[in-house]
Amino acid sequence: MKTTLYLLATTLLLSSCGGNDSDNKANEANEKRIDQQATGISDDAKKEAKKTSEGMVELASLAMTNYELSQLASKQATNPEVRTFARQYVEKYVKDEKEMRRMTQDLKLVVPTELSKEGRDRVDDLRDEKPGTAFDIKYLEEVGKVNDKTADVADDLADDAPNDEVRTYANRIEKEGKDLRDRAKSIRNVLN
């Protein structure tokens, strides 16, 4: 049974790669898996499992968006403090992404493997900005928006977490999201 579920999760993970919106594909794959394997589980439990999977998908997507924005800013930002902030986020993402992947594997969830349409749009908008103070400010604004959303999603996930590990992770991500948002705002205020 475990082997079958693992193979199903792996197949769903591979089939979720590519396409227009990685988030939607991951959510659809998770929903299908939950519906298929949860025959003896109540409808409320299925709803909770789907809500958890959607939260994990959204957190992974938002982290990927921040990572791509920060990768770009680490190369194009002109202010040294902005460049340092961006590089620190890239390093943080690498560490957090490993933890997220391990946790989602344990939960047998599929998470996005590429940027969502919203994430691509944010990165493209930043890429269109010419290097300079305007670029730095736009990066910090975008990171602030994404981290606001991250904190909200993490708060909801912590409230509905299926276990202590997910709850602890979500609480930490919520705090870090708020801290990153506040730091970006502080740097942005200096630049204005």
The phi and psi torsions of 35 (rounded to 5 degrees) equal: -65, -40
Question: How far is 135 from 75, CA to CA, in rounded Å?
Answer: 11
Residue-wise DSSP of 126-162: HHHSPTTHHHHHHHHHHHHHHHHHHHHHHHHHHHH-S
pTM over 0.75, yes/no: yes
More confident: 42 or 113: 113
Range in 31-40, 90-99, 142-151, 174-183 the model is least confident about? 31-40
Q: Kindly report, residue by residue over 16-27, the tens digit of the pLDDT.
A: 343 458 899 988
Q: How confident is the model at residue 13 (pLDDT cuts 50, 70, 90)?
A: very low
pLDDT at 11 over 80: no
**Confidence at residue 12, expressed as pLDDT on a 0 to 100 scale:** 38
Q: Kindly report, residue by residue over 122-171, the tens digit of the pLDDT.
A: 999 999 999 999 999 999 999 999 999 999 999 999 998 888 999 999 99
Q: Kindly report, residue by residue over 49-86, the tens digit of the pLDDT.
A: 889 999 999 999 999 999 999 999 999 999 999 999 99
Mean pLDDT over residues 113-119, rounded?
93
Question: How far is 39 from 56, CA to CA, in rounded Å?
Answer: 22
Count of residues making up the chain: 192
**Confidence at residue 20, expressed as pLDDT on a 0 to 100 scale:** 52
